[in-house]
Structure 1
Amino acid sequence: MQNTKETLVTAFALFSLFFGAGNLIFPPLLGFQSGNMWWLVALGFCLSAVLIPLFGILAHAKIQGTIFDFGKKVSRTFSLMYSILIYAISVSLPSPRTASVTHEIAVQPFFDSPYIVTSIIYFSLVFIFVMNRSKLLNILGKVLTPAIILILLAIIGITVFYFDFNFGTTHFDNPFTYGILEGYQTFDAIGAVVVGGVIIVSVNISNKEKTFEEKRVLIRKAGWLAGIALFVIYAGLIFTGAVMHNQFDADITRTALLNSISIKTLGSTANLFLSILVSLACFTTAVGIVTGTSDFIRHLFNDSQIAYIITAVLGCVLGVVMGQFNVAYIVNVALPALMFIYPITIVLILLNILPEKYASTLVFRSVVIVTAIFSIPDFLSTIGYDNEVIFLEELIPLSKYNMGWVIPGFLSFAIVNVLGSKKPIHE
C-alpha cells in the first residue's frame, strides 16, 4: 500500500511538471484543424510532448545529475553552452508566453486593456515571488493541477457523450509529423532536462531507505502513469477540437478556442473558473522558469546573490518585452529556436537512457554533431530561407517534413556502434 501511495505521489509530481497551463492551448486547435485525422495528429503530438519528456525523466533517474550532465559526454564546453542556451530560450519564450496566455484567457474577455499592461503587472509579481521564494507556489501547484484536470476531464467527457462524432477533413498534408512539430511548442522535453532532476532529488530524499534499483523502478512506474494521464488529456482535447470543427470560425485563435469550448460544454461560470486556474498555473510556471535560470547563473558565479538578482531582473524584463505580444506571435518566434534545439535535446535524452556500451563518448559526439548539422536546414526554412534550402528536401530524407535530422542521426549512431568505437575519448 505504501509503495502504491509513493508511486501515485511521484506520478502526480511528474504530471504537474509537464502539465503546463500554456500547453492547453495547443491540443484543441490541433484537433480543430485535423478533422478525421485527429487520432494521427494526437499520436504525433504525444510522441514529442509525452513520450520523449518521460524518457528525459528516465534519463535523469539513470545519470542522477543536472542539465549539465546530459551533454557532458560531448564535452564540458558543449554542455555549458547547451545549458546556457536552454535557459536563455526558457526565459525568452515559454516564460513570456505564460503572460500572453493569461492576458488572452483571463483579461481580454473582460477588460479592454493592452497586452503591455498585463505583462508589466504580471512580471512585477513574478519578480517579487522569485526574490522571496514563497512556498505558496508549491501549495498552489498541488491545488491548481487537480482542479484543472477535473475541469478538462469534464469538458472531454461531455464532448464524448453529448456531441455527434462529426469530423471534417484535415487541414494538414502530413498530420503525424505536424503533430510532432506542434508538440515541440510545449517545451516539455526541455522541461524534463531542466527541472526533471528536481523530481529525482525529491525521490532520493523521501526514499533514502530504498536501493538505487528500487528508486528507478518507482520512477519508471510513476513515469508511465503520468504519461498515460497526459495522453488521455492531450488526446481528449484534440478529439474535442475535432468534434467541434464546425462550431467556430475557421480563423479562431488557440486561446479563444479553449475558452469557447469550455463555455459550450460547461457554461460561462465554469469558463471563468478555468480562466482563473489557468492564469495562476501560468504564473507558477513563469516563477519556476525565472527562479531556475537565476539559480543556474548564480551557481556559475560562485553562488553570487548579485548574479541571481541581475538574472531575475533580466528574466522579468525579457518577459515584459516578449509578453506584450500575442500568443500566436510568440509561437511563431519560438519555432526557429525549437527546430534547432529540440532535435539536439531529443538525441541527448535518448542517448542518456541507452546502456553505456551503445552510448560511448564517440557516439555522443558523432550523433549530436550530425543532428545539429542536419537541423540547420529546418532552422533556416523557418526564418525565411526556405527557397535557399528547398533543394535539400530532395537530398535529405524526411527534410520536407522538417525532420531531416532523424535518419542521419540514426545512421551516425549505428555506424559508430557497428565500427566498434566504444572506448571513451578523454577530453
Structure 2
Amino acid sequence: MNTKKVTIQQTLLIGLMTFGLFFGAGNLIFPVFLGQQAQANYPQAFLGFILSDCGFILIGIASLCLSQTYHFKKLMTKLAPIPGKLFGTLLYLVIGPLILLPRLASVSFKMGLGSFIPEQYYFLAMAIYTAGYFVIVYRLSQDSRNIVSIVGKVFTPLLLVTLTIVFGLVFIFKMGSPTQPLNVTYQTSPILQGFLDGYNTMDALVSVIFGFIIIKAYQSLGINDAKQLAVESLKSSLVAVVLITSVYFGLVYLGATSLTIMDPMTNGSPILVKVVHHYLGDAGGLLLMVIVISATLKTAIGLMSSFEQGLSEIYPRIKSGYFNKFSAILSFAIAMFGLDFILMYSNYLLNFVYPVVFILILIMFVSPKFGDQSVYYRFSVAFAILPIICNVLAAANPGSQFDFVNQRIPLGSMGFGWLLPAILGYFIAFLRVKKSKT
C-alpha cells in the first residue's frame, strides 16, 4: 500500500482550488435571485439550495473515489462502447464550448466591463473582451499541473476578499428587512423549491468532471492508495463546501434584503449590480468587475483543461492540443450571440445530460455495497432514456402529447420521470447479477 502524508497546507490549497473550480457565474447570480424571490423564507430556501448543490458536489466526488474511477474513459466504458463515446462527447461539449464556457464569458462581460460601455460600442467591446478572455483561458489551461496554483493561490483568494467587502457592507449597513415571498412556490414549499433551484448552478453535472482534477492533484502528490485518495479528496471537498455554503448565505441574504432599493428583478445579475452600486457607486462597478472576472475565469480554466483531458481519452488518435483550440474558437463564436441565445437552448441539452449523469453518480456511490458491473449502468440508463427524451420534448413543446405523457409519468411534472424507471432497471440488473453468481 502506497501511503504518503498530506499536510494541512496541501489540503487547504486543494480545497481552495476545488472551491474555485465549482464557484462560477451561476453560483454568483442564482443564490441572489433565490434570496429576492424567497424573501422572509430565505433560510428554508437556502437550506434546500445547499442540500442540492453542495450535496451533489460531495456525492459526485465521493462516487468516483468509492468506485475507484479515476479516469473518464473508465466511466464511459460502463455504458456500451458507442453510446458511452457519444454521451461522453456530448457531456464535454455541454460543460465546454456549447454552454458553460460561453456563458462564463458572457456573464463576466455583461456584469463587469459591459456596464461601462456605451451602447454604440457594446458589440465591438464585447468582441475584444471575449477574444481576450478565451486567449487567457486557453493559455492558462495548457498545463494542468498549474491549475492548483492558478486557481487555489490567485483567483480564489481574490474572489473571497472582494466578496467579503461586499458582504461586510450588506450585513453592517442593512438595506432593509425581507417581506412576503414574491413567488408562491417559495411561500408553500421553500425547501423543495430551493432544492430544485440548486440544479441551476450545474455543480452536480461538473462534480464528476472536476472530481478527476481533484484526484489527479492528489496523485501528483504521490497519493495512489484508493482509500487514502478517497479520504483526502473528501477532506478538500469539505473545505470547498464550507466556503461555498458561507458565500451562498451572503448572496442569499443580499438578495432577500434588496427590495428596499429596487423593484423585483428577473435574474440575479442586475440585483448584484444594483446592490454594489448602492453601497459604492461607480467604484462598486470596478469591484464587481473584479468579483465576476475572478469568479468566472478560474472556472473556465478548469473547464477547458477538463475538456481537453476528457476528449483526449475519448479520441486518443487526435492530438490533444487541437481540443483546446477548438474549444476556445467555438466558445468565442457562441458567446458573441449573447447570453439570451445560450440560455435559449441550454435547458434542452441539460434536461438530457443531467439525468444520465445523476444515474452514473448514484450507481458509483452505491457500488462498494452492490458492485460496479457494467450491467447496472446499462440497464438503468436504458430504462430511463425514454422518460428523459420525453421530458426534453415536453419542455420544448408545452401542451403537446409529450407534455401530456410526461405529466402522467410518476414524478414527471417535477422533471424526475426518469428516476423510477432507472431504479427498476437497476433492480433487474441486480437480480441478473445475483442469478449469474448462483
Q: What's the counterpart of residue 190 of structure 1?
A: 205
> Which position in structure 1 is the counterpart of 2:254?
240
The superposition leaves residues 29-59 of structure 1 with CA deviations (integer Å, 9 ceiling, x where unpaired) of: 1211222332343233333322112211112
1:7 aligns with 2:19: no
Amino acid at match of 1:413: Y
Give the equivalent residue in structure 2 for 1:336: 348
Q: Which amino acid aligns with 1:107?
A: L
Aligned partner of 2:84 in structure 1 is: 79
The farther-off stretch of 192-201 and 3-12 is: 3-12
- Check if 1:263 corresponds to 2:277: yes
Q: Is the 8 A contact 1:155 1:262 kept in 2?
A: yes
Moved more, 112-121 or 19-28: 112-121
| Cα drift, residue 300 of structure 1 | 4.6
Counterpart code for 1:196: G
Relative to 1, partners in 2 of residues 1:202 and 1:367: Cα closer, same or farther, differing over 3 Å? Answer: same
- The answer on whether the counterparts of 2:163 and 2:291 sit within 8 Å (CA) in structure 1 is no
Q: Is the 8 A contact 1:115 1:323 kept in 2?
A: no
State the distance in 2 between where 1:40 and 1:298 align. Answer: 43
The CA deviation string for residues 106-158 of structure 1, in whole angstroms up to 9 with x for no partner, is 22211123346424542355246526737887655222212212332443344
Match of 1:206 among 195, 199, 221: 221
CA contact (8 A) 2:99 2:346 kept: yes
| Aligned Cα root-mean-square deviation (Å) | 3.1
One-letter amino acid of the structure 2 residue matched with residue 245 of structure 1: L
Moved more, 392-401 or 76-85: 392-401
2:107 is the counterpart of 1:101: yes
Structure 1, gaps ≥5 residues long: none
Structure 1 pair 344/204, CA: closer, same or farther in 2 (3 Å)? same
State how far apart, in whole Å, the 2-side matches of 1:278 and 1:144 are. 11
Which is worse superposed, 115-124 or 55-64? 115-124
**Matches of 1:116 and 1:181, distance apart in 2:** 37
Q: Tell me if 1:274 matches 2:274.
A: no
Partner of 1:370: 383
Name the structure 2 match of 1:152.
Answer: 163
Distance 1:16 1:105, change over 3 A: same
Which amino acid in structure 2 is aligned with residue 197 of structure 1? F
Compute the displacement of 1:28 (Å).
Answer: 0.5
Instruction: Single out whichever of 30-39 and 161-170 deviates more from structure 2.
Output: 161-170
Distance 1:116 1:314, change over 3 A: farther
Match of 1:384 among 390, 397, 416: 397
- SS in structure 1 of the partner of residue 179 of structure 2: coil
Residue 116 of structure 2 is matched in structure 1 by 110
Which deviates more, 376-385 or 287-296?
Answer: 287-296
| Equivalent position SS for 1:108 | helix
Deviation at 1:207, TM superposition (A): 4.1
Tell me, yes or no, if the aligned pair for 1:100 and 1:115 is still in contact at 8 Å.
no
- Counterpart of 1:92 in structure 2 is 98
Indicate the SS of the match to 2:397: coil
Asked if the contact 2:391/2:403 (under 8 Å) is kept, the reply is: no
C-alpha displacement of 1:424 = 8.0
Counterpart amino acid of 1:95? L
Residue 45 (structure 1) aligned with residue 49 (structure 2) = yes
Alignment of 1:166 onto 2:182: no
The question of whether the paired residues in 2 share the 8 Å contact of 1:103 and 1:115 is answered with no
Deviation at 1:197, TM superposition (A): 1.0
CA distance in 1, matches of 2:306, 2:7: 30
Q: Contact 1:119–1:319 (CA<8 Å) still a contact in 2?
A: no
Distance 1:250 1:7 in 2: 41
Q: Does 2:262 align with 1:251?
A: no
3-state SS in 1 of match to 2:400: helix
> Per-residue deviation at 1:334?
1.1
What is the match of residue 226 of structure 1?
240
Q: Distance in 1 between matches of 2:20 and 2:435?
A: 39
Q: How far does residue 227 in structure 1 lie from its aligned partner after superposition?
A: 1.5
Task: Report the secondary structure of 2:358's partner residue.
Answer: helix
- 1:24 deviates by 0.6
Partner amino acid, structure 1, of 2:206: G
Counterpart CA distance in 1 for 2:155 and 2:283 is: 17
Matched, 1:361 2:409: no
Question: Comparing 354-363 with 27-36, which one deviates more in the overlay?
Answer: 354-363
> How far 1:101 moved relative to its partner?
0.9
- The letter for the 2-side match of 1:122 is T
Aligned sequence identity (%): 24
Q: How far apart, CA to CA, are the structure 2 residues paired with 1:365 and 1:286?
A: 31
Gapped regions of structure 2 (runs ≥ 5): none
Please tell me the residue identity of whatever aligns with 2:94. I
TM, length-normalised to structure 2: 0.84
> For the residues of structure 2 that align with 1:119 and 1:244, how far apart are their CA atoms?
32
